[in-house]
Structure 1
Amino acid sequence: MQEVRKAAHERMKGFCRVCRECDGRACAGEVPGMGGLGTAASFKGNVEALADYKLRMRTIHDVSAPSTSTSVLGYALSIPVFAAPIGGVSFNMGGQITEEEYILSKVKACDANGIVGCTGDGVPPFISEAGFAALTAVNGNGIPFIKPWEGDEFFEKIEKAAATGCTTFGIDIDAIGLITLAKMGRPVAPRGVERLRALIEQIPGQVLLKGVMTAEDAQAAAEAGAAGIVVSNHGGRVLDHTPGTAHVISDIADAVNGEIAVLVDGGIRTGADVLKMIALGADAVMIGRPFSIATVGGLEEGASKYIQQLTGELTSAMVLTGCESIEDANADIITDVLGQ
């Protein structure tokens, strides 16, 4: 991974610093780009919120070979991780590899290592087209995310996504605040529950809504017919000064009470971070920037090495907290920064 990160640093020079700690400080305000909007308080808040929770180390037990596998949204996962839908490497990450190379490498690495890769959408259209081609290459074993465009474009992309063989369709509803799209003259409008339900009813598969940060929106997503949600502030790239996702995930999970799947992203870097989010109530996590760095730095091999690193870290964290399975990861294995 040191070699992968070194290569990524060279290929992303001027676009991402590939910091030792990806916490949003060095790239604050660099949107469009990999940074956080404005002061980057939301990006930094994601990392800081996770750091507020500590794992309770336990060493007197019989857990030596924990099972890291789980099932979410019908996907059998080797670890409870999805690679988040980040696209646009040609203008957000330096363009040293093509969009097609990037997304195909990431999705194939996920497929080969027992997790699920997600593809993105945006402007220009080659972002979604490269994603659809990558999903076809893995027989639809991935999740395409499509922005809630007005008019025919949304359903045209849904049709193309369905042709890849995928069974789950993501909608990044947090895209309504993307400055990148606004600058390109392509702003995306929000939808209330009724309009969202009408949209979901026309999609030929289960729907995952990304961009939920409150219990009210989580309940509204369930009411609209979503199969799952992603608790996300879009990596801090759409609204400054939101809470970190680790601080809101528990209330959101409690609000839906198992009715729909609850995923979360934001500041997750290591296997220990994954375990924290599961303990806080998530069914699985999504990881964005670290996957992009690993893929740009080493293509399919780089992304695979990152997945293998996560697996090792998660396994170690489970042993040292006495978790024999993912189901054992609950509030009992964590404490907040005040020791409560």
Structure 2
Amino acid sequence: MDEKQIRDRAREKMQGYCRVCPQCNGKACAGEVPGMGGLLTGSAFINNIESLAMYHINLRTMHQIDEPDTTLKMFNHTFSSPIFVAPLTGASYNMGGALTEAEFVSCLTEGAKEAGSLAFTGDGAEDEIYTAGLDALRSTGLGIPIIKPRSMDSIKERIGQAEAAGAVAVGIDIDGAGLVTMAMKGHPVGPKTFYQLRELKSFTKLPLILKGIMTVQEAEMAVEMGAEAIVVSNHGGRVLDGTPGVADVLPEIVERVKGEIFVFADGGVRNGIDALKMLALGANAVLVGRPSIWSAFGGGAEGVGQMLEKMTAQLRHGMLMTGCVNLKAIDYHVIY
């Protein structure tokens, strides 16, 4: 399958939910929540794209590097790429239902594993959404479940299930505190305090990830409570209109917490050069959302694996052309 075939098939299967635009920038789908768009005006989604596009890359080819290394060691595992699949759910109510939740997450986890990567799995208003992710994790032996900010007892129950399934780590989707779809389906979610999150950290031996960090202050709080990682993310622009883009806030967050906590960036990554920019701005790894969805709907697990391999090849080429021998060598000197 080539990329055009995958995108055409995805567009057909997701008709009425995602246009699979030639340039996925959030403008055509603004306000489509449920759906694939950003909340209200869609500006938070759009800002993710535009903030990343503001950065340019310094071309540097006077060096002796010929085979850049994209290998990443994370949470006692080694991956061939720092590009991972974001936690994605709602195959029925956000994406049209051509794939069941179990089929969708299976495509993501299997495709990621085949590409030497990993898929995060998600949580949602139906119990089968989280359990489908756990089943896929057991099948592949790799995965990181991300749990919505439910009641403390519900989160602890799901953490225990993640541990039993052999998860690499576990996370809390703290930016899901006001998710429209969760509220519509009667599942209470809400903000969590520093002390509640610290309690959850002490509850598990798995590395704890806090997803949805967009300020320096909350990044510092994550370090203080002992979390192993944060995801700098505005939830794809789907939880609050008007937020800055991830690339707007990433540098100042990294400046404060780099070396103290692992930093993922999630928002607007569409190719390997976008990933290179995020890494140059200080992220340790990136998460890919909407391209993972098209790839699963249009090409199944093979499509997801192909997408990740292509992005990694683009990243490797970008490293070659900017003089970066490995991921640690990617820093702000790459950015113009």
- What's the TM-score, normalizing by structure 1? 0.96
Q: Map 1:220-231 onto structure 2 (within 5 A).
A: 220-231=221-232
Specify the SS of the correspondent of 1:55.
Answer: coil
2:45 and 2:292 map into 1 onto residues whose CA distance is 16
**Letter aligned with residue 59 of structure 1:** T
Specify the SS of the correspondent of 1:248.
Answer: helix
**Letter aligned with residue 142 of structure 1:** G
**Letter aligned with residue 134 of structure 1:** A
Structure 2 segments unaligned to the other structure (5+ residues): none
Runs of 4+ in 1 over 4 A off after TM superposition: none
* Contact kept in structure 2, 1:83 and 1:291, CA below 8 Å: yes
1:72 and 1:334 map into 2 onto residues whose CA distance is 25
Match of 1:67 in 2: 69
* Contact kept in structure 1, 2:80 and 2:117, CA below 8 Å: yes
Specify the SS of the correspondent of 2:315.
Answer: helix
Q: Out of 93, 115, 118, which is 1:116 matched to?
A: 118
Specify the SS of the correspondent of 1:171.
Answer: strand
1:297 and 1:305 map into 2 onto residues whose CA distance is 11
Specify the SS of the correspondent of 1:29.
Answer: coil
Match of 2:162 in 1: 161
**Letter aligned with residue 86 of structure 1:** L
Q: Could you tell me how far 1:151 is from its partner in structure 2?
A: 4.6
**Letter aligned with residue 120 of structure 2:** C
* Contact kept in structure 1, 2:156 and 2:200, CA below 8 Å: no
Structure 1 segments unaligned to the other structure (5+ residues): 336-340
Match of 2:259 in 1: 258
Match of 1:174 in 2: 175
Q: Which moved more, 1:111-120 or 1:74-83?
A: 74-83
**Letter aligned with residue 44 of structure 1:** I
2:79 and 2:61 map into 1 onto residues whose CA distance is 27
Q: Map 1:60-139 onto structure 2 (within 5 A).
A: 60-139=62-141
The C-alpha deviation readout for 1:80-108, integer Å capped at 9, x for no partner, is: 11210001111111111111111111101
* Contact kept in structure 1, 2:83 and 2:312, CA below 8 Å: no
* Contact kept in structure 2, 1:178 and 1:187, CA below 8 Å: no
Q: Map 1:320-339 onto structure 2 (within 5 A).
A: 320-335=321-336
Specify the SS of the correspondent of 1:106.
Answer: helix
1:215 and 1:75 map into 2 onto residues whose CA distance is 28
* Contact kept in structure 2, 1:103 and 1:134, CA below 8 Å: yes
Q: Could you tell me how far 1:288 is from its partner in structure 2?
A: 0.8
Q: Map 1:238-277 onto structure 2 (within 5 A).
A: 238-277=239-278
Distance 1:257 1:308, change over 3 A: closer
Q: Map 1:299-310 onto structure 2 (within 5 A).
A: 299-310=300-311
Match of 2:27 in 1: 25
The C-alpha deviation readout for 1:228-282, integer Å capped at 9, x for no partner, is: 0000000000011111101111111111131110111000010001110110000
The C-alpha deviation readout for 1:159-178, integer Å capped at 9, x for no partner, is: 22212111300110000021
2:190 and 2:171 map into 1 onto residues whose CA distance is 16
1:73 and 1:279 map into 2 onto residues whose CA distance is 21
2:219 and 2:139 map into 1 onto residues whose CA distance is 33
* Contact kept in structure 1, 2:273 and 2:318, CA below 8 Å: yes
Specify the SS of the correspondent of 2:165.
Answer: coil
1:192 and 1:243 map into 2 onto residues whose CA distance is 23
Q: CA RMSD in A?
A: 1.1
Distance 1:83 1:164, change over 3 A: same
**Letter aligned with residue 296 of structure 1:** F
1:134 and 1:222 map into 2 onto residues whose CA distance is 30
**Letter aligned with residue 235 of structure 1:** G
1:133 and 1:63 map into 2 onto residues whose CA distance is 42
Specify the SS of the correspondent of 1:90.
Answer: coil
Q: Could you tell me how far 1:8 is from its partner in structure 2?
A: 0.4
1:18 and 1:278 map into 2 onto residues whose CA distance is 26
Q: Could you tell me how far 1:138 is from its partner in structure 2?
A: 1.2
Q: Could you tell me how far 1:132 is from its partner in structure 2?
A: 0.7
2:315 and 2:267 map into 1 onto residues whose CA distance is 17
Q: Across the two proteins, how many residue pairs are aligned to each other?
A: 334
* Contact kept in structure 2, 1:211 and 1:234, CA below 8 Å: yes
2:183 and 2:257 map into 1 onto residues whose CA distance is 32
| 1:50 correspondence with 2:45 | no
Match of 2:237 in 1: 236
Q: Could you tell me how far 1:73 is from its partner in structure 2?
A: 3.1
1:284 and 1:45 map into 2 onto residues whose CA distance is 20
- What's the TM-score, normalizing by structure 2? 0.97
Specify the SS of the correspondent of 2:204.
Answer: coil
Specify the SS of the correspondent of 1:53.
Answer: coil
